[in-house]
Structure 1
Amino acid sequence: MHRSRVYALIIDAPRDEADAAAAFWSAALGVPAGPAPGEPQFIDLHGALPGLVAAVQSVDDAPRLHLDIETDDPVAETDRLLALGATQVARWQECRVLRVPGGHLVCVLPVESDRELFDAQARAWP
């Protein structure tokens, strides 16, 4: 058995537009934006989605939204999502990037949130 939960909504923006995107979303959502410690490609939107991380990510690709799913077993969670029809398209650090039916991206990563929050919100999977 393993557990997982949606951890973050990430707004991917082309590198040269990421600062403007972060400024827009900060103003639109009425929250402060600031750099993510140790993650220079991310600009956090602090408090935009209570219980979740919201951030703008600078990418060398087209603009899009994607979800991050955190789990206590990345291999098992990836296998579960692959069995549901996702395909793995990349790996980045400990993150497995999947394309799910409908074409959206989902990243599967080890638990990043506070352990109490994860334990309270994660779903258990056989």
Structure 2
Amino acid sequence: MRSGGLLQRKLEEFGISTISISNSPEMTIRVAVPRAVFIQFPFGRLLGDVDDRDQQREICDDMVEMLSNANQPNSYKHLDYSWPDPPELTKWRPEIPAPLGLLREEGKVDEELVEKNYRDEEREGL
């Protein structure tokens, strides 16, 4: 998310408006993306179910509308969509962790190297 925020802010410096979609409003606001819509859908499926093209199109249209109507950076909007499965039956996160997570569990990650190469210079502590 941080790299997306950095990229968005850089594009905005050149006059290119950007927007993100996120299911984690707190993190998205924390990294200060210029504009974002929030949706309570599972990770990896923020535009909806794989075969639900109509809903995917609706969500994309909502994002374009937000981008068109947001006159200033730091504009955020919660989209009013509901995931079709009950929350207790929904897999909100992938069952298999990201490769970096697996390497960390095995103790194979040089955390100092990660911190050095991937820190956010604009905001201390992130």
Instruction: Classify the TM-score, shorter chain.
Output: under 0.3
Looking at secondary structure, tell me which structure has more strand per residue.
1
More helix by share: 2
Give the number of the structure with larger relative contact order, counting CA–CA contacts within 8 Å between residues 6 or more apart. 1
TM (normalized to structure 1)? 0.21
Return the index of the structure with the highest Cα Rg: 2
